[in-house]
Amino acid sequence: MNKTPPSSKQTLATPTVSSQIGSSIIHSSLKRLTLDGNISFENIDYATKDFGNRYHFLPLAVLNPKSISDISTTVSLVFGMGSSTDITIAARGHGHSLEGQAQVRGGVIVNMESLRIAEMHFNTGKKAYVDVSGGELWINILHESLKHGLTPKSWTDYLHLTVGGTLSNAGVSGQAFRHGPQINNVYQLDVVTGKGDVVTCSDDQNTDLFYGVLGGLGQFGIITRARIALEPAPTMVKWIRLLYSDFSIFSKDQEFLISSQNSLDYIEGFVIINRTGLVNNWRSSFNPKDPVQASQFKSEGKVLFCLEVAKYFNPENKSNINQNIDAILSELSYIRSTLFESEVSYVQFLDRVHIGEMKLREKGLWEVPHPWLNLLIPKSKIREFAAEVFGNILTDTSNGPILIYPVNKSKWRNGTSTVTPEENVFYLVAFLSSVMPYSTGKDGLEHILNQNNRILNFCKRNELGVKQYLPHYNTQDEWKAHFGKQWEVFKRRKSTYDPLAILAPGHRIFKKAVAFQ
């Protein structure tokens, strides 16, 4: 394993002697495979990179599958070699893992974006759905669904991610309070297991594998097809931001909104620490309800909390929607001068993060290290967490946004591999930091990692019952603690569907056993 600090020249982790021996065996075997796609052994450095931009593992080869059979054949080959080699396999989507989870040293990367099982297949009947490739991007599903007047129900904030990637974690955004995460809104999967078997699974067919794969971090199989639930699509979005200076009031309003029958479609929030010019920063896309009062609001030096909500609508219903929103807002206790509104198209709203990506790419600030920390925090502990972290451990939010919003556990599917806190309501808190290249200051990698560790240590020391989302650990004992009472089921599923621990080694949960040669 090689962690590449931003101030050094990037290097790649090289295989060990034992894996080089295995590589020579599998290299010739892979070349002899008859495939619809192809396998590349050269110019594969791109597979050593991900969005986190901190871990870099050099694979032996990259499989570019054109069919499910290509993936099954390759996995079957490696499985058939048994423990004679330490070659492993990782599925790679759009490369947005944070800490090398979709990389593999000296093994085979499956480039899921090259998989094209067929055109998207839509069922527009009463139980509307779309069948898509596991390597399809959500943004493409959105555009194709809208042609049928339909849309998926639940999203992530960023849509340029693959279906298999988000379903292997959970897929959480501001719609989760109503519809649950994306893993709640899938009817059926096709999966290639660690034995090379192709299995169709659902709520009533191969159920154990279905629930294991959902949120399973790629440990039990590679998702090659997914049947995604759809609903009628709106065309417009009323997008609103409100500010609070008191966290207790802010969180109380958030919890009220996710528990009420107010029919909002999206509820999130974020933290603002020590930022200036806040109102002016929003003027390009949000209009203050009361411009005079808003101009008098001063944000300098304060810790503020922004409630962000949205309501979907079609133009013919705009009058009713505005009345509905006014009624909802009248129940809230935000700072009255800080109501900001915007109307955008449904696509513009859902693809909002991509606009920021384009701006950062222009400045050369997109492909930098991203030491993100995503936490799920029980409702009963969120105020204790906020009091210590916001304004104490963190003294500004200049390194990236901090998202914070509650979700209802009742909306999450029981029995999946995703780990959540015990309580019925818990908060997602996401520290989405970006590192300035070569910096050794507060925007440098070391400083941000130290902050993350201080946050984690505080949670552990005070026994807050926090679980990490998109987790990364270095030892199996840490993973056991993460899964808690779910560990035995998780381990049993691994031994059933990937008994040689071939799949997804980048998570460092299980290690492939290699016989002494």
Residue 397 near residue 411 (C-beta atoms within 8 A): no
> What CA–CA distance (Å, rounded) separates 186 from 166?
12
Residue holding tokens 């999450």? 412
Q: In the chain, how many H helices and how many E strands? A: 16, 19
Provide the 10 A C-beta neighbour count for residue 405: 26
Residue 229 CA to its chain's centroid (Å): 19
Residue pair 464/50 in contact by the 8 Å Cβ criterion: no
CB 75 within 8 A of CB 56: no
- Nearest Cα residue to 72 out of 134, 136, 140, 161: 134
Q: Which residues are catalytic?
A: 96, 157, 268
Query: Pseudo-torsion of CA 95, 272, 355, 90, nearest 10°?
Result: 10
DSSP per position, 471-486: ---SSHHHHHHHHGGG
Tokens for 173? Answer: 């955004």
DSSP string, 173-207: -TTHHHH--GGGSEEEEEEEETTS-EEEEETTBSH
Strands 287-288, 121-123: pairing is: unpaired
- Tokens linked to 361: 């790419």
CA 402 centroid distance within chain: 15
Structural tokens at position 126: 């009463």
- Residue 37 backbone phi and psi in degrees, to 5: -100, -140
Output the six-digit token pair for 444: 């440098």
The string of DSSP letters for 310-347 reads EEEE-GGGHHHHHHHHHHHHTT----TT-EEEEEEEHH
CA pair distance 243, 334, nearest whole angstrom: 6
Residues 6+ apart with CB under 8 A from 279: 288, 294, 295, 297, 299
Under 8 Å between Cβ of 116 and 225? no
Q: Which are the contacts of 168, defined by CB distance < 8 A and separation ≥ 6?
A: 213, 215, 216, 217, 218, 223
Which residues in 109-128 are b (16+ Cβ under 10 Å) and which e? Answer: bbbbbbbebeebebeeeeeb
DSSP string, 54-91: SB-B--SEEEE-SSHHHHHHHHHHHHHTGGG----EEE
Report phi then psi at 33, rounded to 5. -65, 140
